[in-house]
Amino acid sequence: MSRWLAGVRILDLSQYIPGPLASLLLADMGAEVLKIEPPAGDPMQTLGPRNREGEGLFYQTLNAGKQILRIDLKSTQGREALLELAREADVLIEGFRPGVMERLGLGIKLLRAQAPRLIVCSISGYGAAGESLQKAGHDANYLAEAGVLDRNGHQGPVFFDPPVADVSGSLFAAIAILGALQGRHGSGEGCTIDLGLADVIMPLQMLQVADFGENHAVPGRRTTYLNGGAAYYQVYRTRDDRHVVVGAVEPKFWRRFSDTAGHPEWVARQTEPLPQHRLIADVADVIAGFSFDECLARFSDDECCVSPVLALDEALASPRLASRKLVARAPDGGLQALFPAWVDGAPPAIRPAVTPGTTD
């Protein structure tokens, strides 16, 4: 994997999560990433916990393996330095609000004129065309406006950790850049990619969108099996106030779960209308009779589709995670969540540390 994008040069002007995570994934595949920061550095350095050296842990994590160069893009010298770098780059990622690059004298038309093969990926909150271009927002705003928060949560809308829109935006940006690099082989020219974080939620709910388009169905809270309406896809509390998840969606798995629970009569009830309040209550009563450990032992058969609800420390200590080798200790002692794929039978390599910043 670390050789797939060898020779690809990326300038990353973005900050915080979406752009830096996108360029990190591309660096995992072998791209050379030069992160361009303002003279004071990426504000992400001051956000979140510290590492052993007192540095911003989130910043160090998102920028592992990258070289850091600090440039004042508001100065003539800084602008010229960036243009010189862009002429030799394959990809430029930026995360400013629409219009900022133009005000800096680094607009798309100029960049493409100076570097016709350059792929420019602009990541903003609401995109560079349409409404709400200058509106500020974060992950919860995007989820709320996309119709996701409305149907999730039992008592009221809830949002998520990790941030769904930010992380999905990173993935879509990386995918689009890879496609653009491939497309450039045929055309010989770069392109511009306009990605709004508020937009990335819709393709994640394409099934619900299709259902609305066909049937005008608007999913409410606990009205689908995906958001708590079904007994066979549900969180249950154990006697000792721990939780397990039942994910027995397919009939054969629900049958195995029901038989193991000692209630074969539940099998025929899987197709009861949603929300399945009575069936959920019946299953909850049985699960509540077990301790956490007893429940996991009772439903240890793989085809019961029962999983423990683990805290992060428990998840990191699980034998399954250890066997996949996708979370590993770096030489500096830091714990890294690596690219989640094995290639040719081998897990991904540990990322090198961030190269300390220099100023141009």
> Choosing from 138, 150, 194, 263, which is the catalytic residue?
138
CA dist., res. 142 & res. 152, Å (int): 14
**At 348, phi and psi to the nearest 5?**
-70, 160
Q: Which residues contact 298 (CB under 8 A, 6 or more apart)?
A: 260, 261, 290
In which region does residue 323 sit, left (phi positive, over 0), alpha (psi from -120 to 50) or beta (all else)?
alpha
Q: DSSP characters for 38-71?
A: -TT--GGGGSS-B-TTS-BHHHHHHTTT-EEEE-
243 in active site: no
Preceding omega of 356 cis (within 30 degrees of 0): no
> Choosing from 28, 139, 166, 199, which is the catalytic residue?
166
Give the 3-state secondary structure of residue 278: helix
**E strands, the chain, where?**
9-12, 32-37, 67-70, 91-94, 119-124, 192-196, 233-237, 243-247, 306-308, 327-329, 335-337, 355-359
Per the structure block, which two tokens stand in for 317? 């200590």
CA dist., res. 56 & res. 187, Å (int): 41
166 in active site: yes
CA dist., res. 166 & res. 15, Å (int): 12
Question: In sequence order, what are the beta bridge partners of 192?
Answer: 120
Per the structure block, which two tokens stand in for 56? 């911003």
Catalytic residue numbers read 138, 166
